[in-house]
């Protein structure tokens, strides 16, 4: 969706911050004079790989003993990283790295990447072997971390093994999710859709679990901004909508203009409150102004979502958070629920009315005029498209009896076939099994009514992110 990216500049957020420290046992350096330069060369290569990633890297250099480890720990504590990577270049003692994990209060990834695929046994002496001994302390560090109550994660491989770097990349993506949630400001506007008990969320849960902020908003916060929108700004937003969407003949010009006006007001609301996501709902009555605002949200909320500020209707805070997670992972993420099952084709049909993520559209999205929003009051324009065919991953936030939040994911494939044309995003997802059995297993996880549909098979990244966030992960 090149056009979308050009017309809707992405929201700018704090970059993922990665702490990096390499180390080895200083007792070796006088014994084997060529070893330290070789290990530092490996550390420089690792640092260069991290510097090429879309992250800010805090590289504290090379440590050789526990005192240097303590200095590195203090530097990384002050740096407030989203993930710390410990590169074990050869054997080192666990007391060199434990303070780094303890004092920084940051998740740690241990990596050990030997110089090449294998040793040249006929040519190697002890010093040459020690450059390949980064795996040696990994069990020791794992044991000490467990005894200290610190989650242990590791990637073992060799320096130029792309499979190992792909595993490392997954942890960096997961750190990006942690960064997004740690610093996120989630807007919550309006009130709960009456009767949807699963949607109700304790607002303290997000700051307590992730460090996020929840900004409680009124529809009047939107109303006053919409009232300030000029006719020229409405015309400009209508022109943008016509460039991004195919406008169906069912769309009334007045309804399109209203949706455009609300869209400009929404942009101002998101900017004024520095929002990273938005969940909203207002019931309204008999066409009064708040009902009209709620009914006019879909165009503007979809454009916000396309910019990387995901929006969800029905006051679905946990789903707007899930959408932010999938967005931070570079996978888009559209507001979604089950629509029907097709037992002939073995697919689950899913989608939703309301805001959609244009990045997951299979083609040009459509604006359709609706005189009725099913289950809701009001009327106006709605977004409709077929989700891009190919691999997808669902991600939602479940909640347990004790209040614990969990990531719940399932991987499938969107396949072609007949779809409803009712102003909704729709897709046919093949999970490779009986769709009824899939629904049973999915519903048993505590997932709730809605989730985010993201492109690509990303369960591994979402599992890694759950690990860094310290919450359970469930996959169906």
pLDDT tens digit sequence for 164-191: 999 999 999 999 999 999 999 999 998 8
pLDDT at residue 325 tops 80: yes
Inform me whether the pLDDT recorded for 204 exceeds 80. yes
How far is it, in rounded angstroms, from Cα 11 to Cα 268? 13
Torsions phi, psi for 282 (to 5 deg):
-145, 130
The bridge status of strand 347-352 relative to strand 425-430 is antiparallel
Integer Cα distance of 416 and 461 in angstroms: 26
Q: What is the pLDDT of residue 239?
A: 92
User: Which residue, 419, 425, 423, 432, is CA-closest to 452?
Assistant: 425
Nearest to 464 by CA among 78, 10, 16: 16
Q: Which two tokens stand for residue 391?
A: 């691999």
Q: How confident is the model at residue 28, as a pLDDT?
A: 94
Residue 296, classed as helix, strand or coil, is: coil
Say what the pLDDT of residue 333 is.
86
Topology of 184-475 in CATH? L-fucose Isomerase; Chain A, domain 3 (3.20.14)
Domain boundaries, the chain: 17-181, 184-475
84: which strand partners? Answer: 19, 108
Which residue has better confidence, 64 or 374? 64
User: pLDDT: is 448 or 3 the higher one?
Assistant: 448
* DSSP-based three-state secondary structure for 102: helix
CA-to-CA distance for 336 and 323, rounded, in angstroms? 10
Residue that the structure tokens 């932010």 belong to: 324
Architecture of domain 17-181: 3-Layer(aba) Sandwich (3.40)
Q: How far is CA 315 from CA 120, 187, 407, in A?
A: 62, 10, 19
Nearest to residue 395, comparing CAs of 308, 328, 304, 303? 328
Report the percentage of the chain scoring pLDDT > 90: 63
Give the pLDDT confidence score for residue 392 in this predicted structure: 94
Residue 371 predicted with pLDDT over 80: no
Contact 311, 187 (CB under 8 A): no
Give how far Cα 4 sits from Cα of 270, 349, 356, 357, 363, Å.
19, 26, 13, 10, 12
What pLDDT does residue 197 have? 74
How confident is the prediction for the chain on average, in pLDDT? 90
Residues 6+ apart with CB under 8 A from 310: 277, 278, 304, 320, 323, 324, 327, 333, 335, 357, 452
Kindly tell me if the per-residue pLDDT of 247 is higher than 90: no
DSSP code for 387: B
Give me 476's structure tokens. 């169906």
Q: How many CB atoms lie under 10 A from the CB of residue 312? A: 31
Q: Are 24 and 92 in contact (CB under 8 A)?
A: yes
CA 278 to chain centre: 15
Place of tokens 């004079």: 33
Cα distances (Å, whole numbers) of residue 364 to 25, 308, 454 = 58, 19, 18
Q: Residue 375 above 60 pLDDT? A: no
Q: Which has the closest alpha carbon to 350: 396, 304, 293?
A: 396
CA dist 37 and 24 (Å) reads 12
């Amino acid at each position: 969706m090149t056009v979308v990216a050009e017309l809707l500049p992405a929201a700018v957020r704090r970059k993922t911050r990665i702490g990096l420290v390499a180390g080895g046992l200083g007792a070796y350096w006088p014994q084997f004079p060529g070893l330290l330069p070789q290990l530092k060369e490996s550390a420089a290569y690792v640092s260069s790989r991290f510097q090429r990633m879309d992250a800010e890297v805090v590289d504290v250099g090379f440590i050789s003993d526990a005192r240097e480890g303590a200095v590195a720990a203090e530097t990384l504590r002050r740096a407030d990283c989203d993930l710390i990577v410990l590169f074990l270049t050869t054997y080192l003692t666990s007391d060199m790295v434990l303070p780094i994990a303890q004092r920084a209060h940051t998740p740690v990834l241990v990596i050990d990447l030997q110089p090449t695929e294998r040793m040249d046994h006929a040519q190697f002496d002890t010093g040459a072997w020690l450059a390949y001994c980064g795996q040696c302390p990994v069990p020791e560090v794992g044991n000490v971390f467990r005894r200290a109550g610190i989650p242990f994660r590791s990637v073992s491989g060799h320096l130029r093994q792309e499979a190992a770097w792909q595993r490392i990349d997954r942890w960096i993506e997961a750190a990006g999710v942690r960064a997004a949630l740690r610093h996120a400001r989630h807007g919550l506007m309006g009130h709960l859709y009456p009767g949807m008990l699963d949607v109700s969320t304790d607002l303290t849960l997000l700051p307590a679990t992730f460090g996020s902020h929840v900004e409680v908003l009124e529809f009047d916060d939107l109303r006053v901004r919409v009232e300030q929108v000029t006719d020229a700004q409405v015309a400009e937003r209508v022109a943008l909508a016509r460039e991004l969407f195919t406008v169906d003949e069912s769309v009334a010009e007045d309804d399109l203009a209203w949706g455009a006006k609300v869209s400009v007001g929404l942009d101002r609301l998101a900017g004024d409150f520095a929002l990273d996501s938005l969940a909203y709902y207002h019931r309204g009555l008999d066409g009064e102004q708040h009902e009209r605002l709620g009914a006019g949200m879909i165009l503007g909320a979809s454009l916000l979502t396309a910019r990387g500020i995901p929006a969800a209707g029905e006051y679905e805070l946990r789903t707007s958070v899930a959408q932010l997670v999938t967005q931070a992972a570079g996978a888009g993420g559209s507001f979604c629920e089950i629509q029907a099952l097709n037992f002939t084709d073995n697919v689950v049909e899913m989608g939703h009315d309301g805001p959609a993520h244009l990045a997951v559209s299979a083609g040009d999205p459509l604006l359709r005029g609706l005189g009725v929003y099913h289950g809701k009051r009001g009327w106006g324009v709605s977004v409709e498209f077929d989700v891009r065919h190919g691999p997808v991953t669902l991600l939602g936030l479940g909640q347990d009896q004790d209040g614990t939040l969990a990531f719940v994911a399932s991987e499938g494939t969107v396949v072609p076939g007949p779809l409803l044309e009712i102003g909704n995003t729709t897709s046919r997802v093949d999970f490779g099994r009986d769709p009824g059995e899939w629904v049973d297993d999915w519903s048993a996880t505590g997932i709730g009514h809605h989730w985010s549909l993201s492109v690509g098979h990303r369960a591994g990244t979402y599992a890694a992110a759950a690990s860094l966030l310290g919450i359970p992960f469930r996959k169906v």
